[in-house]
Amino acid sequence: MSTDAVNNSKRRFLVASTTVVGTIGAGFVAVPFIKSWEPSAKALAAGAPVQADISKLEEGQMIVVEWRGKPVYILYRTDENIKVLESDQAMLDYLADPNSDMSRQPEYCKNSTRSYDKHKKVIVMEGVCTHLGCAPKYVPDLNNPFAGSLGEDWKGGYFCPCHGSIYDLAGRVRKSMPAPKNLPIMPYFFKSDSVILIGQDGSKA
């Protein structure tokens, strides 16, 4: 199998034993919604941290977990994605807040990838548009037929179907969009390379 074929194959999303939610429209992809394993529903309602197992997540794939009643997007980006986020000037010029100065994220995620340096390919962020709260759709890359309509320089990200806001693969919103800010990032940390605790800083563990 060619490298391209392998990469395209990897970009398909996890299905397996999870429940698939989300709209499957032109250019959009289905993203598995992973029910929180722990803690209990009562604790969840109270805002307890939730744990996500990303051991089966592959490059280009995203899963959604729920925390405090909100969808949390966990995306495993490729090396190419990271290169674009860090140094593709054409993409950076599109952004309203490239350094996330006006946006909400922990200090350890205030960088160009908006993630932990050690796990920079994995981003964890609220899947809630900062305009009026819709769930932006994941539009992975230029191979996606929908991506072309987002501009020739578009290198993947998120599209909000409600009023058209566009974000990059670090949840950074483009200029002149209805959404005023980047997607928020909640406190989280890696309990191990494959387990993330969402809703709590590592320093408080």
Residue 35 Cβ, how far from ligand FES at the closest point, in Å?
25
Q: Does 125 bind ligand FES (CB under 6 A)?
A: no
Structure token digits, residue 35 = 């029910």
Binding flags for ligand FES, 136-165, as an x/- string (CB under 6 A): ------------------------x-xxxx
Residue 132 Cβ, how far from ligand FES at the closest point, in Å?
4
Q: Which of 21, 132, 148, 195 binds ligand FES (CB under 6 A)?
A: 132
Instruction: Choose between 120 and 137: whose C-beta lies nearer to ligand FES.
Output: 137
CA 23 from centre of chain: 16
Instruction: Choose between 29 and 57: whose C-beta lies nearer to ligand FES.
Output: 29
Q: Does 134 bind ligand FES (CB under 6 A)?
A: yes
Instruction: Choose between 25 and 133: whose C-beta lies nearer to ligand FES.
Output: 133
Q: Does 175 bind ligand FES (CB under 6 A)?
A: no
Biggest distance spanned by C-alpha atoms of the chain:
48
Decide if 163 is catalytic: yes
Instruction: Choose between 124 and 166: whose C-beta lies nearer to ligand FES.
Output: 166
Q: Does 131 bind ligand FES (CB under 6 A)?
A: yes
Structure token digits, residue 112 = 């160009």
Q: What are phi and psi of 190, to 5 degrees?
A: -90, 115
**Any residues with CB less than 8 A from the CB of 147 and at least 6 apart, and which?**
27, 139, 141, 154, 156
Structure token digits, residue 52 = 């996500």
Instruction: Choose between 49 and 71: whose C-beta lies nearer to ligand FES.
Output: 71
Residue 136 Cβ, how far from ligand FES at the closest point, in Å?
7
Q: Does 179 bind ligand FES (CB under 6 A)?
A: yes
Active-site residue, selected from the candidate residues 56, 83, 163, 175: 163
Q: Is residue 163 within 8 Å of residue 151, measured between CB atoms?
A: no
Q: What are phi and psi of 100, to 5 degrees?
A: 55, 35
Catalytic machinery residues? 163
Which positions lie near ligand FES, rule CB under 6 A?
129, 131-134, 160, 162-165, 178-179
